[in-house]
């Protein structure tokens, strides 16, 4: 296929509203709209019912499949197909190639009763000749399984006006999807976009009866939305509020949740949904991993940090007085729904700290992230949640989230249990975790990691792996984003003791993740203590 292709191809039953909703969607997105049936009538010079009558359905399907193949290869707007088109093998082949090239085939799923009524009322449909309702039902039974298989975007429009349906379709067309696979991973997807939380029932599936909704108080608005989606999906919801941030990641909090699940009769076929920042999704995953030795769970991260870091990759855990995340499990979610609407409720400082993990992914693998951060530093540093969704910053942030998630997925897919490549994701974390511990978690994770990256860069320079310019670039870029680059907290001895307890440590051997250039990470074991101390002094500010 060439570079020109539709932004979306709409399929659905007769009467589903493909033309009306498709036009509205195209208008919302500032795109042209094309209707295959109208194009066919222009091409054959007569109405479709007349063509059907003269030449029969096989001839019509040949014309239809050829036209669809041409348009899919040359049209850059929203393209709506006739109701029966996806049943033709040639059209299925065209659509499969389009999807493989990154296209979106949208199955517009209207209420069958409404669609049947509209289809019967509209007339001019050869496939409904005779008893229209009986024919529609028979066609639906035949087509629905095929449509579900052919489409990679399913949009339910039950009870929605055409404009509401169009807005929902637009959001789902613009959604970014990152698949997560690997030798030890049951495949799942990270969905990034406005309205991504709407996939919650779809990702949970039909198995669970009860769902525990674990969330914090600051995200009540978003947990209310998740609860409504779950109840609409027919699930029994157990609402569990936990303390915010790291205070929620304790064995006492986990124990209270286990007790609640036992009292409410949760079984192995039930599920957990985590809504909130990184601490909430870490805890939700830990509960899911440990209840009945593992139940289904979905993460709905609501902070930038959680979207790019904690919610993806299957690391779950709680903190102990001795350290952060020392108790936990590797347990992958059924899906991650990063709904960027939730970012609109973030205070500036909570958004900005998430940029620490974004920058880390740029330093260790994807230098395009660093360029985007440089170009948009002022806007990112000045993030205003109230204006975010209508601002030019929204697609920038969505791209940063997608790129950062892809970096994480690359490492996680190769090394789920952090025995090799995945450790590279801990760039900046050796000192960062120590700062969090010494500051009793008053320092947020992304801020601590930012200082930790400067420390790692200083250590790498002292060991001869990088030059002054790369260290200075760390400070300049992170400062431009509003992130800290120095820390005047605990003593070196305190920090050294905590570094020895770091998850990367092996016995008494200190291990550091360092750069020898942007995009290339190395492990360094037991560097000279003088260098470890000198690097510490250089981040004292």
Residue 244 annotated as binding site: yes
Q: Is 184 labeled as ligand-binding?
A: no
According to DSSP, the β-strands at 176-182 and 185-193 are antiparallel
Residue 415 assigned to a binding site:
no
- 17 carries a ligand binding annotation: yes
- Whether residue 61 is annotated as binding a ligand: the answer is yes
**Is residue 282 a known part of a binding site?**
yes
* 66 marked as binding residue: no
433 is known to lie in a ligand binding site: no
* Residue carrying structure tokens 């939730």: 342
168 is known to lie in a ligand binding site: no
* Residue 260 assigned ligand-binding role: no
Read out DSSP for 321-349? TTEEEEEEEE---SEEEEEGGGGGG--HH
Q: Is 323 annotated as a binding residue?
A: no
Mapped to the 3 state alphabet, what secondary structure does 97-125 carry?
A: HHHHCCCCEEEEECCHHHHHHHHHHHCCC
Whole-number Å distance between alpha carbons of 60 and 425: 55
Annotated ligand binding at 151? The verdict is no
The reply to whether 20 sits in an annotated binding site is yes
> Is 429 among the annotated ligand-binding positions?
yes
Q: Is 280 annotated as a binding residue?
A: yes
Instruction: Tell me whether residue 377 is annotated as binding.
Output: no
Strands (E), 405-500: none
Q: Is 281 annotated as a binding residue?
A: yes
Residue 213: closest CA among 274, 259, 265: 274
Backbone angles phi and psi of 169, in degrees to 5: -65, -45
Residue 359, annotated as binding a ligand: no
Determine if residue 384 is labeled as part of a ligand binding site. Answer: no
Task: List b or e across 264-279, with b for residues whose CB sees 16 or more CB atoms inside 10 angstroms.
Answer: eebeeebbbbbbbbbb
CB 107 within 8 A of CB 153: yes
345 is an annotated ligand-binding site residue: no
Distance, CA of 481 to CA of 352 (rounded, Å): 7
125 known member of a binding site: yes
User: Residue 175 and residue 19: Cα distance in Å, rounded?
Assistant: 22
Residue pair 10/162 in contact by the 8 Å Cβ criterion: no
Question: Considering only CA atoms, which of 207, 229, 228, 333 is closest in space to residue 274?
Answer: 333
- Residue 475, annotated as binding a ligand: no
Any known ligand binding at 309?
Answer: no
- Is residue 83 part of an annotated ligand binding site? yes
Question: Does 403 carry a binding-site annotation?
Answer: no
Report the C-alpha gap between 309 and 425 in whole angstroms. Answer: 9
User: Can you say which residues are annotated as belonging to the binding site?
Assistant: 15-20, 37, 61, 83, 125, 143, 244-249, 278-282, 302-303, 315, 324, 357, 429, 445
User: Can you say which residues are annotated as belonging to the binding site for NAD(+)?
Assistant: 244-249, 278-282, 302-303, 315, 324
User: Can you say which residues are annotated as belonging to the binding site for substrate?
Assistant: 37, 61, 83, 143
User: Can you say which residues are annotated as belonging to the binding site for Zn(2+)?
Assistant: 357, 429, 445
User: Can you say which residues are annotated as belonging to the binding site for Mg(2+)?
Assistant: 19
User: Can you say which residues are annotated as belonging to the binding site for ATP?
Assistant: 15-20, 125
């Amino acid at each position: 296929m060439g570079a020109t292709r539709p932004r979306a191809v709409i399929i659905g039953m007769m009467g589903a509203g493909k033309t009306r909703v498709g036009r509205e969607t195209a208008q919302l997105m500032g795109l042209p709209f094309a209707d295959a049936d109208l194009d066919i009538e222009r091409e054959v010079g007569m109405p479709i019912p007349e063509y059907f009558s003269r030449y029969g359905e096989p001839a019509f399907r040949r014309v239809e499949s050829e036209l669809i193949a041409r348009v899919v290869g040359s049209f850059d707007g929203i393209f709506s197909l006739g109701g029966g088109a996806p049943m033709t093998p040639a059209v299925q082949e065209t659509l499969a190639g389009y999807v493989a090239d990154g296209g979106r085939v949208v199955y517009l799923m209207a209420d069958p009763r409404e669609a049947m009524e509209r289809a019967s009322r509209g007339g001019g449909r050869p496939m409904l000749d005779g008893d229209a309702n009986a024919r529609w039902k028979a066609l639906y039974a035949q087509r629905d399984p095929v449509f579900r298989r052919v489409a990679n975007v399913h949009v339910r429009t039950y009870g929605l006006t055409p404009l509401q349906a169009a807005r929902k379709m637009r959001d789902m067309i613009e959604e970014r999807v990152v698949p997560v696979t690997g030798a030890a991973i049951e495949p799942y997807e990270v969905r990034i976009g406005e309205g991504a939380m709407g996939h919650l029932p779809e990702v949970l599936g039909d198995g669970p009866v009860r769902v525990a909704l674990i969330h914090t108080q600051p995200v009540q608005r978003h947990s209310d939305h998740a609860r409504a989606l779950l109840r609409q999906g027919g699930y029994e919801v157990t609402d569990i509020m936990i303390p915010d941030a790291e205070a929620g990641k304790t064995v006492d909090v986990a124990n209270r949740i286990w007790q609640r699940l036992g009292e409410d009769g949760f079984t192995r076929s039930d599920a957990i949904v985590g809504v909130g920042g990184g601490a909430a999704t870490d805890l939700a995953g830990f509960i899911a991993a440990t209840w009945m030795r593992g139940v289904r769970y979905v993460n709905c991260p609501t902070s930038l940090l959680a979207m790019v870091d904690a919610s993806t990759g299957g690391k779950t855990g709680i903190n102990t007085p001795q350290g952060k995340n020392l108790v936990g499990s590797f347990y992958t979610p059924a899906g991650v729904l990063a709904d960027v609407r939730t970012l609109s409720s973030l205070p500036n400082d909570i958004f900005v700290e998430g940029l620490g993990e974004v920058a880390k992914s740029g330093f260790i693998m994807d230098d395009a992230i660093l360029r985007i951060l440089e170009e948009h530093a002022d806007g990112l540093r000045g993030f205003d949640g109230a204006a975010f969704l209508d601002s030019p910053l929204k697609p920038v942030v969505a791209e940063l989230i997608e790129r950062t998630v892809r970096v994480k997925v690359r490492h996680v897919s190769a090394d789920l249990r952090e025995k090799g490549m995945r450790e590279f994701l801990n760039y900046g974390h050796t000192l960062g975790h120590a700062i969090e511990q010494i500051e009793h978690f008053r320092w947020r994770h992304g801020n601590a990691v930012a200082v930790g990256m400067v420390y790692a860069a200083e250590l790498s320079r002292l060991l001869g792996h990088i030059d002054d310019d790369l260290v200075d670039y760390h400070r300049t870029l992170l400062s431009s984003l509003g992130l800290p680059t120095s820390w005047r907290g605990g003593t070196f001895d305190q920090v050294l003791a905590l570094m020895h307890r770091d998850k990367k440590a092996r016995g008494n051997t200190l291990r550091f993740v360092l750069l020898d250039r942007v995009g290339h990470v190395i492990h360094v074991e037991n560097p000279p203590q003088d260098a470890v101390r000198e690097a510490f002094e250089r981040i004292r500010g």
